[in-house]
Amino acid sequence: LGRLGWGQHFGGLAARLDGAFGSDGAFAHDRLRFVDFVEDVEELLEEVAKRERGDEEAADGFEEFVLQRYRG
């Protein structure tokens, strides 16, 4: 977000993802499926992209990118 000049949105996005990580910083698999988390993040990024660029397409591909690299 910072590299895109959208760093001011980080706090709001992080707050909306509260509960996805445990107190140790590890992803909370027992509370949320990883694929659902990634989908939620992509939707949030699309909202930011729409506000900043007027086009949510800037966030397209995030979900696919993450799942290809971390699904295992």
Determine the pLDDT at residue 54.
79
For residue 1, pLDDT over 60 is answered with no
pTM, to two decimals = 0.70
| Residue type at position 56 | E
Please answer whether residues 28 and 22 qualify as being in contact, where contact means their C-beta atoms are separated by less than 8 angstroms: yes
Determine the pLDDT at residue 12.
66
**Per-residue pLDDT reduced to its tens digit, 10-69:** 666 667 777 888 888 888 888 888 888 888 888 888 888 888 777 777 777 888 888 888
Q: Rounded to an integer, what is the distance from CA 52 to the centroid of its chain? A: 16
Write phi, then psi, for 27 (nearest 5 degrees).
Answer: -60, 135
